[in-house]
Amino acid sequence: MILTDTHTHLYSKDFDEDRNALIEKAINSGVTRFFMPNVDSETIADMFQVEKQFPNNCFAMIGLHPCSVGMKYQHELQVVDYWLKKRKFVAIGEIGIDLFWDKSFLVQQQDAFRIQIQMAQKHDLPYIIHTRNSFNEVMEIVNEFNNYSTKAIFHCFGGTVEQAQQVINAGDFKLGIGGVVTFKNSDLDKVVEAIDLKHIVLETDAPYLAPMPHRGKRNEPDYLILIAKRIAEIKNISLEEVAAVTTQNSIDIFGV
| pLDDT tens-digit map of 97-113 | 999 988 999 999 999 99
* pLDDT above 80: residue 149: no
Asked if the model's pLDDT at residue 148 lies above 80, the reply is no
Answer whether residue 171 shows pLDDT above 90.
no
- The DSSP letter of residue 111 is H
| Domain residue limits, the chain | 3-254
pLDDT confidence of residue 102: 86
Burial class (CB in 10 A: 0-12, 13-18, 19+), 14: middle
Confidence of residue 147 (pLDDT cuts 50, 70, 90): low
Average pLDDT estimate for 175-200: 96
> Could you tell me which residue, 15 or 146, shows the higher pLDDT?
15
Residue 127 has pLDDT above 80, yes or no: yes
- The CATH fold assigned to 3-254 is TIM Barrel (3.20.20)
Taking Cα atoms as reference points, which of 120, 98, 122 lies closest to residue 108? 98
Instruction: Confirm if 130 and 65 have CB atoms less than 8 A apart.
Output: yes
Q: How confident is the model at residue 38 (pLDDT cuts 50, 70, 90)?
A: very high
Q: What's the rounded mean pLDDT across residues 115-120?
A: 97
Tens of pLDDT, residues 192-202: 999 999 999 99
- As a whole number of angstroms, the distance between CA 170 and CA 145 comes to 9
Contact criterion met (CB below 8 Å) for 188 and 180: yes
Asked whether residue 227 carries a pLDDT value surpassing 90, the answer given is: yes
Distances (CA, A) of 174 to 6, 127, 202, 237, 255: 11, 11, 10, 20, 14
Q: What is the DSSP string of 20-66?
A: HHHHHHHHHTTEEEEEE---STTTHHHHHHHHHHSTTTEEE-B---G
Q: Angle at Cα 100 formed by Cα 161 and Cα 6, nearest 5°?
A: 55
185 pLDDT higher than 90: no
* Sign of the torsion angle spanned by Cα atoms 18, 35, 191, 232: negative
Distances (CA, A) of 186 to 189, 213, 227: 7, 14, 13
Tell which phi-psi region holds residue 55, choosing left (phi > 0), alpha (psi between -120 and 50) or beta. Answer: alpha
- Answer whether 0.95 is exceeded by the pTM: yes
Instruction: Identify the weakest region by mean pLDDT among 10-14, 80-84, 86-90, 170-174.
Output: 170-174
